[in-house]
Copies of this chain bind each other. A is one copy, B any other.
């Protein structure tokens, strides 16, 4: 059962609103005895932090995380780890206009309908601010994975902004950290900068597609049938604000493939199976193959824009609404570290689940000397 909790064995429960006193999360089920301080988590938060360049919201948040429980003398104790991040830059007046109106394309109206009230300050619980908690929890997951599965590496990057996809022939991993869009295509970085600048000037916003890749994932993570690795990844990514689609490997394009083309053929390699392709995105039957796990998700454009849009008020009046404030013209940019965090949470959770059920034993392929 869930609501605001995510995970089976490594479980994250998040809380907090955009303009409340603080946000945070409880991370339960963490393996004990691992080194963990705020310094292991903060760098991931810093990547997501708003206001770092002109392409993200200018809200200024230090996003300093504090560990309130679950560690002793710098080691995890196996008990719940509470993470807290103070909200320091709340300008509630920015949001006064929307307290009575519903931004089209935003959760304003559904929260109102379901709960009868909502916290209008910055979107309240539905704000992308909640994703800071995910990134913080993901920082713990990454720290644990670095010890338990040291070969595992998670990398997120943007592969499309608006209608403009990257050219995969220019894919350069080193480029990802060099541009504000976390894109591996240097030409796209240049083009998108111009494109996004114009969009913002025209009081508009735009969507994006993010790809998260995990290499070094051992085979055997996942579980039939409703806790499949891809099923949990889909839930994880779709639970991020503004995400409208999730793909594994070929994703929606798998529909257009034939069985002959889609088969990831296998040859026996030195250390086990060698796959000739990876249409499957590293997951077959809900269980990891050992190939890179590849997941993509689409982020819709921010609904909070300066262009007037038709909507209604809580008392049933038609109105045209402009959303002032400090909003991301492409909220997909900051979704990159969020997607990485969700990937880390899912993979660690399934690694622990697998250790619980199977002890980590793996079926033999090839001679026993392998």
Contacts A4-B80, A14-B80, A82-B15; A356 near B362 (Cβ below 8 A):
no
List residues of chain B with CB within 8 A of the CB of A315. Answer: 365-367
- Distance, CA A126 to CA B69, complexed state (A): 13
Q: Per a CB cutoff under 8 Å, which of B163, B228, B245, B357 touches A245?
A: B245
A112 interfacial contact with B, CB 8 Å: yes
* Residues of B contacting A112 in the complex (Cβ-Cβ under 8 angstroms): 363, 365
* Given contact pairs A29-B357, A365-B312, A284 touches B106 in the complex (Cβ within 8 A): yes
Q: Tell me if B11 and A1 are in contact (CB < 8 A).
A: yes
Q: B77–A287 contact, CB under 8 A?
A: no
Please count how many residues in chain A sit with their CB below 8 Å of the partner chain's CB atoms.
167
Q: How many copies does the complex hold?
A: 4
Determine which of B110, B113, B265, B300 lies in contact with A104 in the assembled complex, contact meaning CB atoms within 8 Å: B265
Surface stretch bound by B, among A39-47, A56-64, A167-175, A253-261: A253-261
Which of chain B's residues have a CB closer than 8 A to the CB of A6? 226
Q: What residue in chain B is nearest A306 (Cβ atoms)?
A: B259
Complex Cα gap A251–B234 (Å): 13
Q: Are the C-beta atoms of B110 and A219 separated by less than 8 Å? A: yes
A249 is an interface residue with CB less than 8 A from chain B: yes
Whether A206 lies near B258 (C-beta < 8 A) is: yes
For residue A11, which residue of chain B has the nearest CB?
B3
Report which of B21, B160, B205, B223 forms a contact with A2, defined as CB distance below 8 A. B223
Chain-B contact segment, one of A115-123, A149-157, A184-192: A115-123
Asked whether, in the complex, the Cβ of B113 is within 8 Å of the Cβ of A362, the reply is: yes
Q: Which residue of B lies closest to A25 (CB)?
A: B26
The interface residues of chain B lying within 8 Å CB-to-CB of A114 are 32, 78, 219-222, 287, 354, 358, 362-363
Contact, CB under 8 Å: A110 / B235: no
**Using Cβ atoms and an 8 Å threshold, which residues of chain B touch A288?**
110
Q: Indicate if A70 sits at the interface (CB-CB under 8 A).
A: yes
Q: Is the beta-carbon distance between A77 and B119 smaller than 8 angstroms?
A: yes
Chain B residues whose CB sits within 8 angstroms of the CB of A302 once the complex forms = 259
**Contact (Cβ within 8 A) B28 A3:** yes
A96 adjacent to chain B (CB < 8 Å): no
A113 touches B250 (CB 8 A): no
User: Least Cβ distance of A276 to chain B in Å?
Assistant: 7
A193 within 8 A of B: no
- Rounded to whole Å, the gap between the CB of A100 and the closest CB of chain B is 11
19 residue pairs A–B, Cβ–Cβ below 8 Å: A3-B28, A3-B224, A5-B28, A5-B226, A9-B356, A32-B116, A77-B117, A77-B124, A109-B273, A110-B219, A113-B220, A113-B362, A117-B363, A205-B258, A239-B286, A244-B249, A247-B252, A316-B370, A355-B359
Interface pair B244/A235, CB less than 8 Å apart: no
Residues of chain A in range 200-225 having any CB-CB distance to chain B below 8 Å: 204-209, 219-225
Known: A257-B301, A355-B356. 15 other contacts (CB 8 A): A4-B28, A22-B69, A24-B68, A73-B117, A77-B118, A78-B358, A105-B259, A207-B258, A225-B239, A244-B251, A251-B298, A252-B298, A263-B305, A263-B309, A315-B367
Q: Is A230 an interface residue (CB 8 A)?
A: yes
Most buried by B among A112, A160, A246: A246
Q: Which residues of B contact A233 (CB under 8 A)?
A: 238
Which 8 residue pairs of A and B lie closest in terms of their CB atoms, listed nearest first? A107-B285, A316-B366, A356-B356, A205-B259, A110-B287, A32-B115, A2-B227, A114-B220
Set of chain B residues within 8 Å of A241, measured between Cβ atoms:
285
